[in-house]
Amino acid sequence: KNEVEQSPQNLTAQEGEFITINCSYSVGISALHWLQQHPGGGIVSLFMLSSGKKKHGRLIATINIQEKHSSLHITASHPRDSAVYICAVSKGGGSQGNLIFGKGTKLSVKP
């Protein structure tokens, strides 16, 4: 079993829909990252969080440390949100970039 599990693997939505991507992990962590990988391959860090909730524009990330679960929400989705969203965890004891990655959720938003 992978230490970081994401669901769903693939997600298709209509423009304007509210989207949720889930991430569960089975190890103790110091932080959780949400990354976005565009069709061209580039990777962008969206959030790093260790508790509570963070918001940036239409994106909201939450984490529940007790339940070892995080969610990434996209409000008012747009075709430009189409990308692969990757959850990754830092097991700590060093740099936050020492990451274990989920397999990613491929999101496609149709106009």
Partner 1 sequence: DAGVIQSPRHEVTEMGQEVTLRCKPISGHNSLFWYRQTMMRGLELLIYFNNNVPIDDSGMPEDRFSAKMPNASFSTLKIQPSEPRDSAVYFCASSEWGDRGEKLFFGSGTQLSVL
Give yes or no for residue 33 binding partner 1 (CB under 8 A): yes
Give the binding range for partner 1 (CB under 8 A) out of 17-25, 59-67, 74-82, 93-101: 93-101
Question: Of 29 and 77, which has the nearer Cβ to partner 1?
Answer: 29
Instruction: Give Cα 39 distance to the centre of its chain.
Output: 16
Give yes or no for residue 27 binding partner 1 (CB under 8 A): no
Query: Which x/- pattern over 44-63 shows residues binding partner 1 (rule: CB under 8 A)?
Result: xx--x---------------
Query: Residue-wise over 72-97: b if at least 16 C-beta within 10 A, else e?
Result: bbbeebeeebbbbbbbbbbeeeeeee
